[in-house]
Amino acid sequence: MKLKTSIIVLAAAGGLSTVAHSQVQLTVTGSTAFRSVVLDRIPTLFDSGSLQANTSDTGKQKYFFTGTMSNLIPSFGSSPVTIRSSFSGSGSGMTSVKNGTLLPCINLDGSPTNLAAEVSFSDVYPASASPSIPASAFSQRVEVGVVGFVFVKNNNLVGITNLTREQAILAMTASGDGGMPASFLGGTGGGAVNPIYMIGRDSGSGTRITVEKDLGFVGSPNLWQTNGDGTYSLGTGYDSGGKVANAIAGGTQSIGYVGLADYASVSNAATTLSYEGIPYAHGNVAAGMYPMWGYEHLVSKVGISANQATLRDKLVASITNSTYQASAIYSNNFVSLSDMHVKRGADGGTITSKDF
């Protein structure tokens, strides 16, 4: 089910009363790379015709859903159920759930509210958060999918088709003004003498954590941002993969890293790069040939209520369902758990076989 950007407003008095007295409220945070799947699955949990939603947030991070779930969860009966999302990045999301941090959310009418999240989706293990989080900080951690990541170049960077590990690490610290020229990466044409600019995510991002762990990169990268006229300035990284993708698409000397779902939004202006000579493909991830991937996890706060746990489990089941993971909306951008012939026990960890 695809979301449409829309606002459906309740009748003023009755609507506000319904939301205020919801039997179950669940706030979801975490991975922006896996956001498209979460937002596709949430509406399918509600009874037909009962869903009211606000999906208008231009940052694509804050959403609101309310309705009944008597068919999916008979024990909820006709009481309304409300799910809010406030996607903040994998590491940041797990830390927020652990600490009970209040996150910016919205109500049905779009008005702001601040709530603590009960669950977080994460592209990385809790140990990879900064600071590291022990698994015991959560009441549950489950794997719900596999997320692949790609290096992407702006189409104006002619001749660049591949990054080696060493080139990628060097690009983390030597891109930008007076730094690595495009020719160093195989660039040709008039722009080859100009430097490339590395575009990336903020430090709480699972995308950034995964890429740096898989590269074996340790340190502080030089990451660049673009403004409306295409000029670059040093920054700390964007807070969503969509913003990284747009910056790459808008910067003629840009290279960066994103999840496939975010790359798809700018594929007319940017091209994926092979890594160590291997192009991204689901089959290459599943066979252990392409290492830039991580498990998608869901973690739950300690003390989650029984009703919230039931709702969480239904959401997990809808995502991990083998039929759904074979569908286009999932399989276009993510690897099915059942397709994986390899595994790893930590972010950037050794890839080993599941078959022998």
**Range of 76's domain?**
12-145+296-353
| Number of compact structural domains in the chain | 2
Instruction: Tell whether 328 and 210 lie within a shared domain.
Output: no
Cα dihedral 216, 127, 351, 141, rounded to 10, equals: -150
Angle at 56 between CA 325 and CA 205, to 5 degrees: 55
Q: Is 7 contained in some domain? A: no
The predicted-structure confidence for 199-215, as pLDDT tens digits, reads as follows 999 999 999 999 999 99
**The predicted structure's pLDDT at residue 60:** 77
Rounded CA separation 68/78 (Å): 6
Q: Is 2 contained in some domain? A: no
Instruction: Tell whether 101 and 209 lie within a shared domain.
Output: no
Q: Is it the case that residue 5 has pLDDT exceeding 70?
A: no
**The predicted structure's pLDDT at residue 7:** 39
**The predicted structure's pLDDT at residue 332:** 94
Q: How confident is the model at residue 28 (pLDDT cuts 50, 70, 90)?
A: very high
Rounded CA separation 23/74 (Å): 13
Residues 34-41: what's their mean pLDDT? 96
Q: Is 6 contained in some domain? A: no
**The predicted structure's pLDDT at residue 11:** 34
Torsion angles phi and psi, residue 167, rounded to 5: -65, -40
Instruction: Tell whether 151 and 141 lie within a shared domain.
Output: no
Question: In this structure, are residues 107 and 64 in contact, taking their beta carbons and an 8 Å threshold?
Answer: yes
Cα dihedral 119, 29, 249, 54, rounded to 10, equals: 120
Which residues contact residue 144 at a Cβ distance below 8 angstroms, ignoring those fewer than 6 apart? 121, 296, 297, 298, 316, 319, 320, 337
Q: What is the mean pLDDT of the chain?
A: 92
- Give the domain-ending residue among 243, 266, 286: 286
Q: Is 304 contained in some domain? A: yes
The larger pLDDT score, comparing residue 81 to residue 130, is at 81
Instruction: Tell whether 20 and 110 lie within a shared domain.
Output: yes
- Give the domain-ending residue among 286, 319, 336: 286
Instruction: Tell whether 136 and 151 lie within a shared domain.
Output: no
Q: Is it the case that residue 246 has pLDDT exceeding 60?
A: yes
Residues 54-59: what's their mean pLDDT? 86
Q: Can you give the three-state secondary structure of the chain, one letter per residue?
A: CCCCCCECCCCHHHHHHHHHCCCEEEEEEECCCCHHHHHHHHHHHCCCCCCEEECCCCCCCEEEEEECCCCCCHHHCCCCEEEEEEECCHHHHHHHHHHCCEEEEECCCCCEEEEECCEEEECCCHHHCCCCCCHHHEEEEEEEEEEEEEEEEECCCCCCCEECHHHHHHHHHHCCCCCCEHHHHCCCCHHHHCECEEECECCCCHHHHHHHHHHCCCCCCCEEEECCCCCEEEECCECCHHHHHHHHHHCCCEEEEEEHHHHHCCCCCEEEEEECCECCCHHHHHCCCCCCEEEEEEEEECCCCHHHHHHHHHHHHHHHCHHHHCCHHHHCCEECHHHCCEECCCCCCCCEECCC
Residues 212-239: what's their mean pLDDT? 92
Q: Is it the case that residue 17 has pLDDT exceeding 90?
A: no
Residues 274-292: what's their mean pLDDT? 98
Instruction: Tell whether 44 and 139 lie within a shared domain.
Output: yes
**The predicted structure's pLDDT at residue 230:** 75
Q: What percent of the chain has pLDDT over 90?
A: 90
Q: Is it the case that residue 13 has pLDDT exceeding 80?
A: no
Which CATH number belongs to the domain containing residue 82 in this structure?
Answer: 3.40.190.10
Q: Which residue has the tokens 């549950």?
A: 140
Rounded CA separation 260/256 (Å): 12
What pTM was computed for the model?
0.88
Q: How confident is the model at residue 57 (pLDDT cuts 50, 70, 90)?
A: confident
Instruction: Tell whether 279 and 153 lie within a shared domain.
Output: yes
- Give the domain-ending residue among 240, 260, 286: 286
Rounded CA separation 295/345 (Å): 10
Q: How confident is the model at residue 284 (pLDDT cuts 50, 70, 90)?
A: very high
Question: In this structure, are residues 31 and 206 in contact, taking their beta carbons and an 8 Å threshold?
Answer: yes
Question: In this structure, are residues 118 and 97 in contact, taking their beta carbons and an 8 Å threshold?
Answer: yes
Q: What percent of the chain has pLDDT over 70?
A: 94
Which residues contact residue 334 at a Cβ distance below 8 angstroms, ignoring those fewer than 6 apart? 34, 37, 145, 146, 147, 148, 260, 261, 296, 325
**The predicted structure's pLDDT at residue 83:** 98
Instruction: Tell whether 117 and 183 lie within a shared domain.
Output: no
The predicted-structure confidence for 125-162, as pLDDT tens digits, reads as follows 999 998 999 999 999 999 999 999 999 999 999 999 99
Instruction: Tell whether 307 and 273 lie within a shared domain.
Output: no
**The predicted structure's pLDDT at residue 21:** 43
